């Protein structure tokens, strides 16, 4: 009996895998057929493709920064911080208020506002304030909504997180008003300005804000990776993620590590919010929700709990999302459908993500 049983299970797994493989081959064939049709029809010139790819990379780098926040929290508490997108929203609003305040301060020496006279300082200030406010909110979020629930069944902190998300969105709506606001960037960072690159007879604009967003995201990601992987503090974080009780026995203050994780992930969310504001220009109380879900998709795509995975997942999701509708020849309104379909497909066929992380059954 002990011999037949494992045989049977492997047989079942194999048949499932064969069906999976057939479906994926058919799906890929369909995709390449669509892609071939679109490219051969020549609807989009090479400059358009480059434009899509650039915007995908930039938005993908923002997704990556937000995704790291999800991954950090998930790695330590095994919970989806549903309100993480709202931390991004708080960061975006803080940056907006900094810019507005600086714009209203006149500088006698230059005859212009502070914002335009000291542009680098202004941008740095916006990022610092945005990150600080989001980190502060993250700290209190954990303290109020999650800490009392530690050790409860897993559904309960998730629902609490959903509640916190709704609360923060609506708090922002009633406090700041429901209207959409436009970021006032300093002169050097106007959203229409950038380097012009000639491609195929057309000009593609590589905006300064886009480059700033991309470079800053990569720097943040590298900094975080170094923090987690190379420092003593990062080691204690990883120890807590591995096993809280053993980590506590090794003299690590588990509560403080968890608090700090929320602070770090909040700061990253805040930075992403300011980048979003500077690059996209429009913010409102609901701005964090969809990017939040997409960043979660990115985190899952790269293997949740895995920091390089989140970076790869974010960039990949951004590119697929902006190239996808064009490549498949469908409506651009449907790019969210593409993102969510990827999420569903990844979770079905490869729940450990593309970079991969060994997941125990409990985590899945």
Partner 1 sequence: MKDLIKQGLRLGSIFGVVIIFLILFGLTSTLSDILGEFVNLESRTRTGNPGGLIILFAILSLWAGSMATASDRSNWKPALVSGVSVSLIIALLISGFILLVGFLDSLDVAMRDYLAQLDHLSIQFLLYGRDLTTGVLLTFGIFFLFGILGALLTYWYEAKQAGEVIQKQVLVLKEKALDSKLAKQYKENPRSKWIGYGLLGLVVFITPQFLGKYWNYAMGTVGIYVLMGLGLNIVVGLAGLLDLGYVAFFAIGAYTAGLLTAPAPLPLQIGFWPVLIFSIVMAAFAGILLGIPVLRMRGDYLAIVTLGFGEIIRVLIRSDMLAPYVGGPQGIRDIAGPSLFGIAFSGKAYLYLIIFAILLIILFTNYLQNSKVGRAWMAMREDETVAQAMGINTLYYKLMAFATGAAFAGLGGALFAARNQYTGPADHTLMVSINVLSLLIVGGMGSIPGVIVGAFVLKGLPEILRELDLYRLLVFGGLLVFMMIMRPEGIWPAPRRRMELHEGELDVLPPEESLVGKEG
Binding site for partner 1 (CB under 8 A): 78-80, 97, 100, 144-145, 148-160, 162-171, 174-178, 243-245, 293, 296-297, 300, 330-331, 333-334, 336-337, 340-341, 343-344, 347-348, 351, 360-362, 364
Closest distance between partner 1 and the C-beta of residue 74, in Å? 8
Identify which of residues 105 and 219 has a Cβ nearer to partner 1 in the complex: 105
Tokens of 226: 């170094």
For residue 98, give Cα distances in angstroms to 92, 304, 334: 10, 34, 35
Identify which of residues 147 and 191 has a Cβ nearer to partner 1 in the complex: 147
Tokens of 64: 């990556």
Closest distance between partner 1 and the C-beta of residue 2, in Å? 16
Identify which of residues 114 and 296 has a Cβ nearer to partner 1 in the complex: 296
Give dist(CA 87, CA 69) in Å, integer: 10
Tokens of 99: 């810019």
Identify which of residues 85 and 210 has a Cβ nearer to partner 1 in the complex: 85
Non-local CB neighbours of 351 within 8 Å, separated by 6+ positions: 300, 359, 364
Identify which of residues 293 and 310 has a Cβ nearer to partner 1 in the complex: 293
Is the alpha carbon torsion for 147, 247, 355, 19 positive or negative?
A: negative
Identify which of residues 67 and 220 has a Cβ nearer to partner 1 in the complex: 67
Closest distance between partner 1 and the C-beta of residue 246, in Å? 9
Give dist(CA 260, CA 88) in Å, integer: 17
Give dist(CA 30, CA 11) in Å, integer: 29
Closest distance between partner 1 and the C-beta of residue 167, in Å? 3
- Name the packing angle between helices 307-328 and 289-301 (round to 10°): 110
Closest distance between partner 1 and the C-beta of residue 364, in Å? 6
Closest distance between partner 1 and the C-beta of residue 339, in Å? 8
What 3-state DSSP class applies to 340? helix
Q: What is the dihedral of CA 325, 327, 328, 334, to 10 degrees?
A: 0
Tokens of 239: 């120890």
């Amino acid at each position: 009996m002990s011999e037949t049983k494992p045989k049977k299970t492997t047989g079942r797994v194999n048949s499932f895998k064969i069906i999976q493989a057939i479906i994926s081959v058919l799906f890929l064939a369909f995709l390449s057929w669509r892609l071939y049709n679109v490219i051969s029809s020549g609807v989009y010139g090479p400059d358009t493709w480059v434009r899509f790819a650039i915007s995908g990379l930039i938005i993908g780098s923002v997704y990556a920064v937000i995704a790291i926040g999800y991954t950090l929290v998930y790695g330590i508490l095994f919970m989806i911080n549903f309100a993480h997108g709202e931390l991004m929203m708080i960061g975006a609003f803080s940056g907006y208020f900094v810019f507005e305040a600086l714009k209203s301060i006149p500088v006698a020496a230059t005859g212009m506002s502070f914002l335009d006279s000291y542009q680098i300082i202004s941008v740095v200030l916006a990022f610092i304030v945005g990150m600080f406010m989001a980190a502060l909110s993250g700290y209190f979020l954990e303290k109020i909504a999650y800490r009392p629930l530690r050790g409860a069944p897993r559904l309960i902190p998730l629902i609490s997180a959903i509640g916190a998300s709704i609360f923060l969105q609506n708090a922002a709506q009633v406090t700041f008003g429901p209207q959409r606001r436009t970021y006032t960037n300093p002169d050097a960072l106007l959203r229409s300005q950038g380097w012009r690159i000639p491609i195929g007879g057309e000009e593609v604009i590589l905006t300064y804000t886009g480059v700033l967003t991309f470079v800053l995201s990569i720097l943040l990601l590298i900094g975080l990776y170094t923090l987690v992987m190379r420092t003593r503090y990062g080691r204690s974080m990883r120890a807590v993620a591995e096993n809280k009780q053993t980590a506590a026995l090794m003299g690590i203050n588990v509560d403080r590590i968890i608090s700090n994780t929320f602070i770090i992930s909040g700061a990253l969310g805040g930075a992403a919010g300011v980048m979003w504001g500077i690059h996209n220009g429009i913010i409102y109380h609901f701005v964090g929700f969809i990017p939040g879900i997409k960043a979660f998709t990115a985190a899952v795509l790269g293997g949740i709990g895995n920091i390089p995975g989140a970076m790869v997942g974010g960039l990949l999701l951004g590119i697929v999302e902006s190239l996808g509708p064009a490549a498949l020849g469908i409506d651009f309104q449907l790019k969210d459908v593409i993102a969510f379909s990827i999420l569903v497909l990844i979770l079905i066929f490869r729940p450990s993500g593309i970079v991969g992380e060994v997941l125990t059954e409990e985590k899945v």
